[in-house]
Amino acid sequence: MPAPQYPAVQAARRALADRLREIRLNSGIKTKYLAEAAGWDRWKVGKIEHAQRAPTVADIRAWCRVCNAEDQCDDLIAALQSVDSAYSTWKRLQRGKGGLRRLQESRLALYEGSSTDWTYCSQVVPGLLQTRNYVAELLTLVSHRSGGPDDDVPGAVAARIDRQRVLWRPGRKFLFLMEEAALYYRLGEPQVMADQLSHLANITASAIPSVALGVLPFSRPRSQWVLENFTVFDGDKVEVEILSALVTITARGEVSLYLSAFEELYRSAVFGEEARRLIEAAADTYR
């Protein structure tokens, strides 16, 4: 399978490939000799060094053995595992019985361990602000997309709703931004959407002290284009939701990029009564 074409992950794969190439060059070993000594085909070394093929743990061990760099082996394996964990396909995360429920439960520790979260959503209501029926509709679609069983959904819904208790933890701060378009993307029956939007309208009135909710209007000028859904945790970790996977970003430069984008989005958002009016206008379309 080719390496995922996501910038942060590709950059990490490129860095690992560069380190392996540097080790080979420093050892004075030619690519042909390395391939023969490791028992590989002649093209494998070049593909690994150009990040066209991800090495396995066994590949790294053989590489370091042939290049007399065993002292760097553990560090390189740790870098490989870091890259692999940064890109987790939804199918892999939901593998096995009760996978969707386990995925939702596993997310709780991350939210409990952070103190300030910045979340941007362009297609759906932010997870911590979703009503039970909205969650059910959304996770049913997720389950169907991943090929999971329908009986996995109720437990996953309960786990996601249970996660919302972090909103009431003392000292926690949550800043949510969502595109106005997400208010109109329908999930389920009209009543599901009407109830969900009513919940959001209440939140704009500071129904939850730890939460600030902003809406990015269709009509307002902006300096940042629409992005994929993402959350920044405590300013040092970002999780990005793309169609195929959950991408985790911890590199400082990449995290700063998302924080900067969030700041630009924030400048284009409206809060309080202005946000409430947009939400209620959307709710009227479902009544």
Whether 63 is in a domain gets the answer: yes
Q: What is the mean pLDDT of each run of 10 residues along the chain (287 residues)?
A: 52 83 92 92 90 88 93 83 58 56 79 92 96 94 73 86 91 95 96 96 85 95 92 90 75 85 96 96 93
Alpha-carbon span 224 to 179, nearest angstrom: 12
The answer on 255 and 230 residing in a single domain is yes
Q: Is residue 83 domain-resident? A: yes
How many Å apart are CA 139 and CA 148, to the nearest integer?
10
Residues 162 and 207 in one domain: yes
Same domain, 173 and 276: yes
Is 107 in contact with 166 (CB distance < 8 Å)?
A: no
- Structurally, how many domains does the chain consist of? 2
Domain edge (last residue) among 54, 87, 120? 87
- Per the structure, the complete domain to which residue 194 belongs is given by 96-285
Q: What is the DSSP letter of 113?
A: T
The CATH number of whichever domain residue 25 belongs to comes to 1.10.260.40
Q: Which pair of tokens denotes residue 9?
A: 């992950």
Residue 2 belongs to a domain: no
pLDDT at 272: 94
pTM assigned to the model: 0.73
Number of helices (H), then strands (E), belonging to the chain: the values are 13, 7
Residues 125, 76 share a domain:
no
Tokens 């074409």 — which residue?
A: 5
Structural domain includes residue 184? yes
Same domain for 79 and 126: no
